A = this chain, B = another copy of it.
Amino acid sequence: MASDNKNTKKKISQLEDLGNGIYKEIERGQNPYLIVPTRGLANVKYSKEKGILTLGESTSKRYFLNVGHVRKFVQTVAVASLSKNLIQSDKHTSLRDVFYQMRRTIPGTKIDVVDDQTETDKAVEDLELITDLTREQLHITANKNGAVAGDVVIEDREDTIDWAKMGSGGWAIPSTTEDIEFKRVNAKFVLYMEKAAIWDRLNEDRAWKKLNCVIIASQGQATRGIRRLLQRLYNEQNLPVYILTDFDPWGFYIYSAIKFGSIALAHASEKLALPQARFMGLLADDIERYDLKRHLIKFKDVDMVRLKQIQKYEWFKDNKPWTEEFGKMEKLGAKVELNAFTAKGLSFMTEKYLPEKIKEKKFLD
């Protein structure tokens, strides 16, 4: 059933090793434990070398025979068992569904394995940390959103899918992009944008054909499925990835999360973050150059607060081009939306802005 037998076997044996280890300790009369890396801000570090957020060295031992530990211990092992079954049957499930599947009373007791989804969510994260397998590899999927178009043919669940023949809709990017296979890739780069409406416009213009690229959008933050897809297109297909957002702190943060990873998902950065992602705009200079001044939208307090937070991020604060950009935004006290380009003509982005940016290679890193 599973698309990649070798990977499947490797994942299953990792999960079985975990169980066997515990079993052996019990047989030897020992108190079994799991070593779990500590999550949370205190143990999240920005690795200059890797260019991504990572977890630090701090770990904790979680014992079976410890009243304070046993619940989490059992939940983590139960998720491992569930995940092994998912992988073996080649089925996927959502975090919410994991909760329902785990919700049962331990025979002979009145104790439920889990009472609340926060417990199963944490257990899944713990298992990711212990095994070094991502949620997706454990067959537990995240939210789905977004679409893609471009001259690329992929294979997914035995279907051959041509991203160049998706009409006005595009291919709906699945929650897991781990197992799709790239069959033919005719593109020079990837363009990720934060707005589905911009994607619609570029797709209608067949911008992906004119510029020989792949266009991807969700709405707002990129899903895990999209982030992994961007990473795979870069790593496996050598396609540079450019990020296109509004000129505002929220857009900058979308770029930040794609490139460096996020604090909440620091343990998954290696599988999701893309330090080589480049910011294509909007930039402060574009406002002048493309005469967008009349479309400045004055900051609300919440925008300025967010900007100040982002300015302080470790991965930005020694980066001169970015600190300058933040400074310009602070001085303007205003944001500009990508949509403002439509005031210059509906196809202005396809015919002018994007070709110029790509030709001049004016990106922020």
Contact = CB atoms under 8 A, between A and B. Distances in A.
A91 B160 contact: no
A264 interface: no
A190 to B, nearest CB: 17
Contacts of A147: 144, 172
Interface stretch (A6-14, A194-202, A266-274, A282-290): A194-202
Nearest to A217: B144
Given A143-B219, A166-B171, A169-B173, A94 B197 contact: yes
A158 B206 CA distance: 12
Contacts of A167: 154-159, 161, 171, 174, 180
A30 interface: no
Count identical subunits in the complex: 2
A154 B166 CA distance: 10
Contacts of A23: none
Interface string A168-212: 111111111001100000000000000011001100110000000
A286 to B, nearest CB: 15
B96 A197 contact: yes
A343 interface: yes
Given A97-B201, A196-B143, A219-B145, A172 B180 contact: no
Contact of A168 (B145, B176, B341): B176
Q: Assign chain A's interface to a size class.
A: 35 or more
A339 interface: yes
B294 A144 contact: no
B172 A169 contact: yes
B165 A172 contact: no
A20 interface: no
Contacts of A170: 171-172, 174
Interface string A316-360: 000000000000000000000101111100110000000000000
A97 B168 CA distance: 18
A97 B86 CA distance: 45
Contacts of A346: 86, 89, 91, 93, 97, 101
A23 to B, nearest CB: 26
29 contacts: A91-B204, A92-B200, A96-B197, A96-B339, A97-B201, A97-B346, A99-B339, A100-B295, A100-B341, A144-B147, A144-B200, A145-B196, A145-B219, A147-B172, A155-B167, A156-B168, A156-B169, A157-B204, A159-B166, A160-B165, A161-B169, A166-B171, A168-B176, A169-B172, A169-B173, A171-B171, A172-B172, A174-B200, A175-B197
Top 8 A-B pairs ranked by shortest CB distance? A156-B167, A147-B172, A94-B197, A172-B172, A168-B174, A169-B174, A97-B342, A169-B172
Interface of A: 86, 89, 91-94, 96-97, 99-101, 103-104, 141, 143-147, 154-161, 165-176, 179-180, 196-197, 200-201, 204-205, 219, 294-295, 337, 339-343, 346-347
